[in-house]
Structure 1
């Protein structure tokens, strides 16, 4: 019952995220067919007041808001629609979306140089179309530190929440974890709330009562259809700058893109002092495209044969990914199918979350097939060939076809984090992943937080409320020992007789997809998110963050798109 087969089954699932299965509904059409079209239908030359590069978590909210103010808005999204794809629109398809490694999939796999698997979105709605759905606001301290207007922040959150946020159910497993957190002293209990409050709470979700996903793409329903165009499968290769007058700042005036047939199109800004190009391509895409366009560390750009428009050594710096570690608890009792609903916001700088249900191994199968290709892209020097480690862990002619396993998972995520890394170009092709280093646990404060967080996880695992969902011999140490047996990442393992929580943190670190940085405020953009040193260009997305907001950033990234859209319109129409 407590075999490696079931454990690997679960480990493979957490390496891509948590999900539960709900019957798929029928395919849907886009709710705004008049303005969302394939880029193959785009004219060779286009003119707009705003060009938003990236129809993701921030970009959709931003573009919808700008269109409401009367401006002509163009959105260029390299992926397709989330609608009509049951793997995206229904929770049951969550693992299949991340397991899809085709060139047109909604999720693009990348492997950091740290040896940790990660994904970046390639679909309208961005990360909100492929994530686990948890929704919670940033703390009031975060809002103050960012210099945002609290009133406008709250209004912007509410604008998002009316369209895409729901209260999740609380069944047996999630309730037990909630009560276990309270027994472990993660107090007070704040009930259901979207606010970031110390203690234990139930957060929001972008999945409705039928398990149907509502993404940032739904926010485009707010748009004025006469003022917006969205072109899908439109890959931007370069932002264009004018630098004709000596001493004048380079000024962004257009972009060049290609459709899925490789046909070139040009998009230009209309004449006007307020018109801008706005990057909302995420923590990987925004710094990558700026470097491809000639803004970045001069030496790195020259090495790629890119003309230097602005030597910006801070571009691609400050990259961070919140480290996650987890334990899995096989249950002798049935558990509901649930994604993350409960969170413990601790005093030690860790967030404790939980999920439950039946987990699949399809993702691990795809990883075994794809890692050699990904390693070639990232230059990651793995210590053990992933396919060999998979074969050693799973005997049998077809180790990927095991029955579903009934279990729960408890994970901890480090707030912040303090550790930072960097991003570098690997080619001039925007379809290629850049080379990313996150430096997990480089700052010892992150490692201390991980240890303290896992100690709280231990208390929850051993708590009375979870006793009926835990086999008597399922101790924290036994769960840790088995976790080390399987290839959840490409990092070397250090199994010893006196295995410590510190080493467990380092060896079993995973992502929870909350990476950020690369175009940070004060280093690459100013307080208005304008790119420092050039005109008519902003970055509005998670690449501008120093820390991941709240326990999940998607709420704040969507809010930021709405917030800055309002700010930009106020400047454009001050009366």
Structure 2
């Protein structure tokens, strides 16, 4: 089966829609005088802070630091502004599945056989995601050792630019009411807070369907103190040698390449307070630490990389919250919506939904042909499964001649407990590293998935959701449908008595909430300073032990602001000494 076709389908199903109609934008894109192509950068640059990665954490961090110091941001991707694939809610699916060489979405397949994507664009993952905005729980904040008052102020600073209350139309309302009906209680209304029960969360899409990304937070920046270079790929961080006058390696600069392949050197200005900060994301930050000589010595030496610090924990603790879903064809038209409602269960699985799926009739027939081909190759696994799938195919075939309408209800496992590792494939920073997440390696995660899928089944069968399902299409037919779709590259186990455990394992997908690789207490300390070296921090989702809240983006943006404020305060105190 064609890989593009497989990946495109996964993204469309996950997105809940792929539409041709457009939404008007509520405002013009901000004009930043300090954002330039890296080809215009000087050969040598000097700044107080060098931030590698203008993503979900890098942008708020840079904007904050620019209020008290000079800041250089090096972003390997381009600008999201003026790109309708990114800025228009109607194009979410095509944006995240874009496989063109210079797209904002860089595709990769994990060693687990799960399709995935990483951002390469100013604003990072906030320029590609489904837009859900919600805080970390109070317990998460406490365990992280963050100051709750500064956390709340930092969230508010972010929300002033990028967060909105979403409209609640029929599909989202039906799932909300279904969750309440099946006991995911209490109902907490609209809130950013992470609390048990069913709630409506925020969105970074405004009422016009216009996306607001972390790049919008650069509006807070002091233009005279900041430079942002696009298509600037950092190849390595430079360190001093150990010995006098410094007992440990000190980061003092970086080497980066522009889109023409020309090298540039950026150095820290002479001051004990200045630093390099990695904000390249859960894949990019551990990858660049390794490329710069910080990582497992044997692994680095195998790639002919000089070891600066033998740090075996770099790349460890990689995790991706497993997602499983049911696609539900609807007998009536549905609104276009991404994630708005969430059921936060006490068994630690989150149930969410999206709607408005629409694609060409010919494509539906392509799916049916793929399924028939599967039956011809493998033989009918059972009369029951074949009958169920036949009914599903007939239903698909009988829908409106132009489109297939419907949506998805999904569950995401909290944590997760299962983790894996990241390794280098090559020494080219543009290449994807090798990453394995070990989905459901720990039984606890699999148990949570099963409970989540049972809740989804109850919601689909609820009275509140009844008008959005075909009465002659039981949930088992929806399960069989998912098992037969190319949602990943993992083996399938076709059986009449397929357990939900097997369903979770066979049909697992990403929800793009991967984290780890530079975790606090293992690679960085509680101030996010890299252990074993000086003048280098990592501030992004790679430092997380668990994914915060039902969606991490709000907390990643908050962390950039939070640490920016703390670093400026430290700078002020040091300057007074």
Aligned to 1:127, the other structure's residue is in SS state helix
| Residue pairs, 1:27-426, within 5 angstroms | 31-69=30-68, 71-245=69-243, 248-360=247-359, 392=373, 403-426=402-425
Structure 2 unaligned runs (5+)? 1-5, 377-396
- The residue aligned with 2:571 is 572
Would the alpha carbon gap of residues 252 and 340 (structure 1) be closer, same or farther in structure 2, given more than 3 Å must change?
same
Task: Give distance in 2, aligned partners of 1:361 and 1:523.
Answer: 49
1:458 paired residue number: 457
Partner Cα distance (2:27, 2:240) in 1: 43
Task: Note closer, same or farther for the CA distance 1:27–1:33 as it changes in structure 2 (3 Å cut).
Answer: farther
Any conservation in 2 of the 1:157–1:559 contact (CA below 8 Å)?
yes
Deviations 1:255-293 (A, max 9, x none): 000000000000000000010000000000000000000
Write the deviation string for residues 513-568 of structure 1: whole angstroms up to 9, x where unpaired.
Answer: 00000000000000000000000000000000010000000000000000000000
Deviations 1:155-213 (A, max 9, x none): 00000000000000001111110000001100000000000010000000000000000
Aligned residue for 1:180, secondary structure, equals: helix
- Mapped to 2, the partners of 1:456 and 1:91 lie a distance apart of 28
Instruction: Report the Cα offset of residue 27 of structure 1.
Output: 12
Give distance in 2, aligned partners of 1:82 and 1:272.
34
Report what 1:521 is aligned to. Answer: 520
Query: In the alignment, which residue of structure 2 is the partner of 1:494?
Result: 493
* Alpha-carbon contact 2:360-2:402 (below 8 Å) kept: no
| Cα deviation, residue 10, structure 1 | 10
CA contact (8 A) 1:204 1:341 kept: yes
The answer to whether the Cα contact below 8 Å between 2:96 and 2:129 also exists between their aligned partners in 1 is no
SS of alignment partner, residue 15 of structure 2: coil
- Give 1:328 shift: 1.4
CA distance in 2, matches of 1:89, 1:129: 8
Counterpart CA distance in 2 for 1:393 and 1:40 is 50
Find the aligned partners of 1:9 and 1:516 in 2 and give their Cα distance: 22
- SS of equivalent to 2:569: helix
The question of whether the paired residues in 2 share the 8 Å contact of 1:323 and 1:440 is answered with yes
- CA gap of 1:157–1:468, structure 2 versus 1, over 3 A, is same
Determine if contact 2:440/2:505 at 8 Å carries over to the other structure.
yes
Q: Compute the displacement of 1:331 (Å).
A: 1.1
Deviation string, structure 1 residues 203-237 (Cα, Å, up to 9, x no partner): 00000000000000000000000000000000000
Segment drifting more, 230-239 vs 13-22:
13-22
User: How far apart, CA to CA, are the structure 2 residues paired with 1:234 and 1:352?
Assistant: 38
Instruction: Show the counterpart of 1:533.
Output: 532
Q: CA deviation at 1:390?
A: 8.7
**What is the CA distance between 1:26 and its match in structure 2?**
7.3
> Could you tell me how far apart the structure 1 residues matched to 2:551 and 2:195 are?
13
Q: Given that residues 161 and 217 in structure 2 are in contact (C-alpha distance below 8 angstroms), is that contact kept between their aligned partners in structure 1? A: yes
Contact (CA 8 Å) 2:8, 2:97: kept in 1 or not?
A: no
Tell me if structure 2 keeps the 8 A contact 1:241–1:250.
yes
1: CA distance, partners of 2:476 / 2:11 = 21
Paired residues, number: 541
How far apart are the structure 2 equivalents of 1:37 and 1:439?
40
Is the contact between residue 327 and residue 409 of structure 2 (CA under 8 Å) also seen in structure 1?
A: yes
Gaps of 5+ in 1: 1-7, 369-385
Equivalent pair of 2:24/2:209 in contact (CA under 8 Å): no
Q: CA deviation at 1:18?
A: 3.5
1:42–1:27 distance in 2 versus 1, CA, 3 Å: farther
Aligned equivalents of 2:14, 2:23: Cα separation in 1: 20
* Counterpart-to-counterpart distance in 1, 2:163 and 2:550: 16
Return the offset for 1:14: 4.7
Tell me which residue corresponds to 1:3: none
Q: Decide whether the 8 Å contact of 1:336 with 1:357 is kept in 2.
A: yes
Shift of 1:147: 0.3
Partner of 1:376: none
SS state at 1:238 partner = strand
Determine the structure 2 residue equivalent to 1:436: 435
Matched residue SS, 2:554: helix
Give the 3 Å change call, closer, same or farther, for CA 160–330 of structure 1 in structure 2.
Answer: same
Any idea what SS the aligned residue of 2:431 has?
A: coil
In structure 2, relative to structure 1, the CA distance for the partners of 1:267 and 1:360 (3 Å cut) is farther
Please report the TM-score for the alignment, with normalisation by the length of structure 2: 0.90
Distance 1:472 1:18, change over 3 A: closer
User: Which stretch of structure 1 is more off in the superposition, 470-479 or 515-524?
Assistant: 470-479
- Asked if the contact 1:344–1:351 (Cα under 8 Å) also holds between the matched residues in 2, the reply is yes
Q: What is the CA–CA distance in structure 1 between the aligned matches of 2:340 and 2:238, rounded to whole Å?
A: 44
Q: From the superposition, tell whether residues 543 and 361 of structure 1 become closer, same or farther in structure 2 (CA, over 3 Å).
A: farther
Cα distance in 2, alignment partners of residues 12 and 204 from structure 1? 24
Instruction: Please give the alpha-carbon distance, in whole angstroms, between the structure 1 residues aligned to 2:538 and 2:261.
Output: 26
